[in-house]
Amino acid sequence: MLEASNLEVVYDDVMLVLRGVSLRVPKGQVVALLGANGAGKTTLMRAFSGLLDVHDGKVTKGSITLDGEPIHKLSPARIADRGIKQALEGRRILAELTVEENLKVGGHARPKRLKQNLDRCYELFPRLQERRRQSAGYLSGGEQQMLSIGRALMSEPEYLLLDEPSLGLAPLLVQQIRDLVVKINEQGTTVLLVEQNASMALSIADHGYVLETGKVVMDKPAAALLADDDIREFYLGLG
Ligand code: ATP
């Protein structure tokens, strides 16, 4: 299990952004993290993947543990070695490289299984196989998002962290991303899913958390969140 306990994160030594967040991602599950803009969702993802440093952020209290072992002082590379990998936003792919080269970059830590992992990616994303020799910069937004997820999967993570994979995508593509997350989870990968699209996220999650100004304000099974009046009103627009 991946777990944040009473986590406090500060940017630039002064700006307190996470104020004692506790969240659990049990192995095998899909956990959804919801919250308005600026609530701290991306910050929490960065803390899990070790990317806070790059943004002048720091854990000032609490811990992140993997199966009980603290990991919040490790570098992103060491955290990835432990099986935790964040799919960076679609735009962060390497635009001058081909689709396949991007995937190979993602798989460098597992050289012996490169072929197998490429095949797995192409099975999950047939579209990427069709375009494997093209420059990644020419992919559509949805395809770039898929490439970003595929690249993360190439390192065979046990925990996949997805930050708004459906952002800016047309409804049909959102549906495709949703189905893919379900499939990836069924194949054994645990998923922490940050989403503005609450109905999509909760429809596939086992458990959900709602973050508000750096604090967890709800922590419930996804089905209970879907039935909650406040969630229906504020996040699902069903008030
Ligand atoms: P969004 O959905 O808009 O991405 P979020 O819930 O992911 O929001 P964060 O991006 O984690 O929220 O931001 C939380 C707060 O931290 C915001 O007030 C933001 O301005 C601030 N913040 C984020 N990154 C930095 C940084 N590198 N330096 C200083 N402040 C930051």
Least confident range from 1-5, 42-46, 106-110: namely 106-110
Instruction: Please report the sign of the dihedral spanned by the C-alpha atoms of residue 222, residue 226, residue 227, residue 231.
Output: positive
Beta strand ranges found along 103-175 (DSSP E): 159-163
In this structure, what token pair is assigned to residue 225?
């969140």
What are the tens digits of pLDDT across the range 95-152?
899 999 999 999 988 889 999 999 999 999 999 999 999 999 999 888 999 999 999 9
Q: 157 or 92: which carries more pLDDT confidence?
A: 157
What pLDDT shows up at residue 62?
Answer: 98
Q: How far is the CA of 204 from the centre of ligand 1 (A)?
A: 25
Q: How far is the CA of 44 from the centre of ligand 1 (A)?
A: 10
pLDDT tier at 239, thresholds 50, 70, 90: low
Q: 102 or 239: which carries more pLDDT confidence?
A: 102
Q: 89 or 32: which carries more pLDDT confidence?
A: 32
What are the tens digits of pLDDT across the range 180-208?
999 999 999 999 999 988 999 999 999 99
Least confident range from 34-38, 87-91, 111-115: namely 87-91
pLDDT at 36 over 90: no
Nearest alpha carbon, ligand 1 atom 15: 38
Q: How far is the CA of 43 from the centre of ligand 1 (A)?
A: 6
Atom of ligand 1 nearest to the CA of 42: 7
Q: How far is the CA of 17 from the centre of ligand 1 (A)?
A: 7
| Residues paired with residue 209 on neighbouring β-strands, in sequence order | 33, 219
In this structure, what token pair is assigned to residue 85?
């990998």
Beta strand ranges found along 56-213 (DSSP E): 57-66, 69-70, 84-87, 159-163, 190-194, 207-212
What is the overall mean pLDDT for the chain? 93
In this structure, what token pair is assigned to residue 238?
């069903």
Residue ranges around ligand 1 (CB below 6 Å): 11-12, 15, 17, 35, 37-43, 55-56
Nearest alpha carbon, ligand 1 atom 3: 37
Which residue of 16, 34, 41, 209 sits with most ligand 1 atoms within 8 Å of its CB, as the best mutation to test the pocket? 41
Q: How far is the CA of 189 from the centre of ligand 1 (A)?
A: 27
Nearest alpha carbon, ligand 1 atom 29: 11
Stretch 200-227: mean pLDDT? 95
Nearest alpha carbon, ligand 1 atom 1: 37
Nearest to 221 by CA among 24, 47, 35, 62: 24
Percent of the chain residues topping a pLDDT of 70: 97
pLDDT at 84 over 90: yes
Q: What is the rounded CA–CA span in Å between residue 45 and residue 195? A: 12
What pLDDT shows up at residue 91?
Answer: 65
What pLDDT shows up at residue 93?
Answer: 82
pTM exceeding 0.80:
yes
Q: 233 or 28: which carries more pLDDT confidence?
A: 28
Beta strand ranges found along 46-189 (DSSP E): 57-66, 69-70, 84-87, 159-163
Q: How far is the CA of 35 from the centre of ligand 1 (A)?
A: 12
Starting at the edge strand found earlier in the chain, the sheet holding 30-35 runs: 84-87, 159-163, 190-194, 30-35, 207-212, 215-221
What pLDDT shows up at residue 6?
Answer: 98
Nearest to 106 by CA among 64, 160, 44: 160
pLDDT tier at 92, thresholds 50, 70, 90: confident
